[in-house]
Amino acid sequence: MADQPKLPSVSRRGLFKTAAAALTVAGVAACSDQRAAGAEATAAPAPAGGAGAMDMAPFTAGPRAPSPVQGTGRVLGANDRVRIAVIGVGGQGFGAHLKGLRALEKDANIEVIGASDVYAPRLERARAELLKGRDGATVFCEKDYRRLLDNKDIDAVVVATPEHWHAPVSIHALDAGKHVYCEKPMTRHLDEAWALVDAVKRTGKVFQLGIQFTSDPKMHAVGDFIRAGKIGPLVAGQSSYCRNAGPKGEWNYDIDAGAGPDNLDWDMWLGSAPKRPWNDDSRSRFFRYRKYHDYSGGILGDLMPHRVGPFLVASGNPEYPTRVVSVGTRRISTDREVDDNVQVMAEFPSGWTMLFTGSTVNEQGLPDLFRGFKASVHFGGDSAIAKPERPFAEEMEETTIAKGPGSDIPMHHRNWLDAIRIGATPNCPVEFGAKIQAILSMAEMSSRANRVMLLDAATRTVKPG
């Protein structure tokens, strides 16, 4: 392993320098986030024509530090062992990724050798797991993830941090020559998605967004079916992710009363988010970060990607949205900033629309469905079935497009690893992820600012309509 780089202080000032926002917006600051925690939405009416100015600061990432390590990484062949580190080893990072990848080590010819986390108890738990069954092995466990990026023994990283760290860690890893598997959502804000697309193009490394349902063969089969014109022009699609956490409330995970500045690097965890002193609210922000806008999109970031990703695959022609509108409410879970009920409508250049409903206070969702001019595709159980519309019942018969159990995280891991070895495009690559992120981010802008949002993907320009 090469000598460790001389790293700057891990304080927020040391990590982040002023950078120009990459998201182009129309107008100047005039409409700040119009929703306060626990209060109903209030908004100034849009000027005539709907093209008023809008403050994009709440929807733009904070400054990101330059990549601390530059490298190209090893050139891996089909039979080479891929050595992996997991950055962020909380619940998902530790269980689904660190332990999950360790379970694949023999069959997938990989080795998980590193972990990083700003919270010492989690890092020590990861170290113990990495050393299981490996007497005398060398593993690399670092509070500062940048030290893993400088480690030439590591070929690839899994990014399982809170959402506001997804883009900075992923971009830094790519520039260091590492392949990246990043948990959803791809980024906290849309300007970061463009930067991540550019980083993948610049480095040529394999990037997989962690939406495992995009590896479902059924969704790819439906995409082929729709692309072949067998349901006629696509009209609309609908999906949902609804659950009910009950009186406890969604994302109210247990809080470790022993967490504090002596074992948790609070300034580093804040990263590009607004700086806050450690106080009585900090433990909630750390352990229940999905409740706060600074670190998460809530339903839009945690739940919606699971449905939007596979539905874009199944559409047969994944596109950036042109127009997105969203309505969100927070009338039951008043202990948070993010909504507990959302409805999102997105329009695409080819003319079809997608409806998404999400909830953390009611578990009754919508049936997954694509509507075409000649037929509709229904998803139920383990099947996708095309049923003709009445005017075309004589022209086509009900058809089972695909049947199967779906996909899981290990399948998605394997797809990423195969892509690394043979230089292929994985099932959820970065440009596809940016299309998903555009929908999520524009939905958040729409809901929080009470505006319809428009996107010109060619110029990466978002503006209110």
Residue 33 has a pLDDT of: 40
**Mean pLDDT of the residues in the chain:** 91
Give pLDDT, residue 37: 37
Q: Look at residue 316 and tell me whether its pLDDT is greater than 80.
A: yes
Cα separation, 311 vs 352, in Å, equals 12
Say if CB 181 and CB 410 are below 8 A apart: no
Write the DSSP symbol of residue 34: -
For the segment 360-387, the average pLDDT, to the nearest whole number, is 97
Identify whether the C-beta of residue 376 lies closer than 8 Å to the C-beta of residue 238.
no
Strands 24-25 and 461-464: parallel
173, 167 in Cβ contact below 8 A?
Answer: no
pLDDT in tens, 441-456: 999 999 999 999 999 9
Type of residue at 206:
V
SS3 315: coil
Written as one letter, the residue type at 256 is: D
Q: Is the dihedral angle over the CA atoms 337, 164, 348, 376 positive or is it negative?
A: negative
3-state secondary structure of 213: helix
What's the pLDDT score for residue 210? 98
Residue 408 confidence (pLDDT) above 80: yes
State yes or no: pLDDT of 2 exceeds 70. no
What pLDDT does residue 136 have? 84
Closest CA to 339 of 363, 358, 364, 362: 358
What pLDDT sits at residue 51?
52
Residue 262 near residue 322 (C-beta atoms within 8 A): no
Question: What whole-number distance in Å separates Cα of residue 127 and Cα of residue 179?
Answer: 22
pLDDT of 14 > 70? The answer is: no
Decide if 434 contacts 193 (C-beta within 8 A). yes
Non-local CB neighbours of 49 within 8 Å, separated by 6+ positions: none
Q: What is the largest CA-CA distance in the chain?
A: 72
Per residue in 268-303, pLDDT tens? 999 999 999 999 999 999 999 999 999 999 999 999
The confidence band for 48, taking pLDDT boundaries of 50, 70 and 90, is very low
Q: Is 240 helix (H, G, I), strand (E, B) or coil?
A: strand
Q: Give pLDDT tens digits for 25-44.
A: 443 233 334 333 333 333 33
The whole-number pLDDT of residue 253 equals 97
DSSP sequence for 390-453: GGGTTT---EEEEE-----HHHHHHHHHHHHHHT---SS-HHHHHHHHHHHHHHHHHHHHT--E
Task: At 126, list the tokens.
Answer: 């990861």
The interaxial angle of helices 217-227 and 304-314, nearest 10 deg, is 40
pLDDT of residue 268: 98
Q: What does the alpha-carbon distance between residue 376 and residue 54 come to, in Å, rounded to a whole number? A: 39
